A and B are shown apart, each in its own frame.
Chain A
Amino acid sequence: MNGATPGPLLEVDGVSVRFGALLALQQVSLTVQPGEVLAIIGPNGAGKTTLLNVISGFYHPDQGRIRFAGRDRTWLRPPDVAALGIARTFQNVALFRGMSVLDNIMTGRLLRMRGNVLFDALWWGPARRQELEHRAFVERIIDFLEIQAIRKTPAGQLPYGLQKRVELARALAAEPQLLLLDEPMAGMNVEEKEDMCRFILDVNEEFGTTIALIEHDMGVVMDISDRVMVLDYGRKIADGTPEQVRKDQAVLDAYLGVAHD
């Protein structure tokens, strides 16, 4: 592979994950093309979050390989995965609750910072200049996600919908190539969902970030994704455009539980 003909950004190849007797993922394969928005859907317990955890390095597959930007990274740990340019959010918001919103987002920028502990400690010279540059970038994200008003608020005190937005901001601060969102709209009201949809599409367009997301709201999924992949009992049962998936009999069965002859 060379730069002239870019291949898929992420390739998951025949990945299986087992927890004791439970096969959480069975031979799941998946490719994510640069620049697309991919939705991963499926009933509860289908293995969606497990798949996300494997991609971000929190779990390692018992079988199969994962390649990112053409390089094998099956065995990398979460911090190293993050360093490659994969950022994520969590199903149950994982923010630094004691820190302000601004500090949370700045922390997301850590990977982009280089520096010298001594300069850091003295808050002097390059450290200061660097801090200001990063601060400028973070302010852009804050404007982008429209959270100017809460930047000094401790993250733990925010309502749930805003916490989700701050978590997205922290992930964006790392300027990831691939953004993994685990139920970014869970527990939100209609208005918050609309906002979040708009942000996800804007991120995809303006920053060119490739996005893979897990979501339960089918309306949302059909609206924002270029491609939909369906998991059921740890297996991939469908993969295609929203239109194709909507009509797929296996998907209808999985969701509605209808018995067919």
Chain B
Amino acid sequence: MTEVLAGLVAPFADIASSPRFFAEVLIGGVAAGLMYSLVALGFVLIFKASGVFNFAQGVMVLFAALTLVGLIERGLPVAVALALTVLVMVLLAFAIERIVLRPLVNQEYIILFMATIGLNFFLEGFGEMVWGANVKRLDVGIPDTSFKVAGVLVNRLELTAAVTAAVLVTVLAVFFQKTRIGRALRAVADDHEAALSIGIPLKTIWTVVWSVAGLVAIVAGIMWGAKSGVQFSLSLIALKALPVLILGGFTSVPGAIAGGLIIGVGEKIAEVYWGPLVGGAIENWFAYVIALAFLLFRPQGLFGERIIERV
């Protein structure tokens, strides 16, 4: 018993004795966390505006990355390939609105959810058919090397990813709070009927939302792809976004960011310091245990709207 307790407490001594190493773990956690946030953000955007949980968000990340790599492999300059990928994702948003969402207007949310599962399988198969199933390397021109700041190792790629994610998140937050379209988006999220009655067309809003989710998917795809190669397991990072959403609240943009950071940092620290105690691999399940705890004690998440059903 005392041995177990000692094992649990000892890592705190490790943290105190080498703060630089702890800082490195922390930075790694923040970097990973921002990437989770980015994926979670795609979910939040669509969920806010349409109440649909978009099961296909992870595959959209993969699809965006595949398209980008595929175009680069065919000899296009990176900038052109990127522009074309943006175009593809926007066209995809139009197609989804027209073919999937519009015919299902006013259906139960569970039916729309099922439709996104279908979309998930379609995009996975379609991506494989067009671009092939082998693992691809995505080179965005930033070396995966490290440099030292005040004696702390910082990875260039992770730093770039973190900065990009932070900028994107800020832009989206401003877009939602300050612009006309952002206001319309929030209106649709709050009340469909009222939004219609003041002249907000649902179709346009849905197309915009899915386009933005597509753009977020591109950024997430590039960052994850550059780190671990573009392959089909990329779509599985959507699973990591789930605990982030439960933690942050499904309807909150700041929640997605905070949730991602907490889980990113939490799982890195748990893995590095407490991992050896149980033989490692804490990183794989840590997020889900936190999510479970939240579901038990605070189901609306940190920032989500508390739903009180009227009886």
Contacts and interface: CB of A to CB of B under 8 A. Distances in A.
Contacts, number: 87
Interface in B196-222: 196-202
Contacts of B198: 82, 87, 107-108, 110-111, 170-171, 174
A97 interface: yes
Contact of A120 (B178, B190, B195, B197): B178
A94 B193 CA distance: 7
A121 B179 contact: yes
Interface in B175-204: 175, 178-181, 183-184, 186-187, 189-191, 193-202
A110 B305 contact: no
B98 to A, nearest CB: 16
A121 B199 contact: no
B115 to A, nearest CB: 22
Contacts of B196: 58, 77-79, 82
A123 B183 CA distance: 13
Nearest to B251: A98
A98 B171 contact: no
Contacts of A108: 198
Interface string A100-132: 000100111011010101001101000100000
Contacts of B200: 79, 110
A94 B194 contact: yes
**Which size bracket describes the interface of A in this complex?**
20 to 34
Contact of A90 (B184, B190, B197, B199): B197
Contacts of B174: 121, 123
A15 to B, nearest CB: 19
Q: Classify the secondary structure of B's interface with A.
A: helix
Contacts of B186: 96, 98-99, 103, 107
A95 interface: yes
Contacts of A171: 198
B36 to A, nearest CB: 25
A152 B181 CA distance: 21
Interface residues of B, number: 25
Report which residue of B178, B179, B199 has the largest number of chain A beta carbons within 10 angstroms of its beta carbon: B199
Given A87-B197, A107-B198, A96 B187 contact: yes
A181 to B, nearest CB: 12
Contact of B184 (A83, A88, A110, A127): A110
A123 B171 CA distance: 11
A111 B191 contact: no
A132 to B, nearest CB: 13
Given A56-B197, A99-B186, A110-B184, A117 B191 contact: no
Contacts of B199: 78-80, 82-83, 110-111, 174
25 contacts: A56-B197, A58-B193, A58-B196, A77-B196, A78-B196, A80-B199, A82-B197, A82-B198, A90-B197, A95-B190, A95-B194, A97-B190, A97-B191, A99-B186, A99-B190, A106-B183, A107-B183, A107-B198, A110-B184, A110-B199, A111-B199, A117-B181, A120-B180, A123-B178, A127-B180
Given A94-B191, A107-B187, 11 more contacts: A79-B201, A88-B197, A90-B197, A94-B194, A94-B197, A99-B187, A107-B183, A110-B184, A127-B179, A127-B180, A174-B199
| CB-based closest 7 A-B pairs | A82-B199, A94-B194, A96-B190, A120-B179, A78-B196, A111-B199, A79-B201
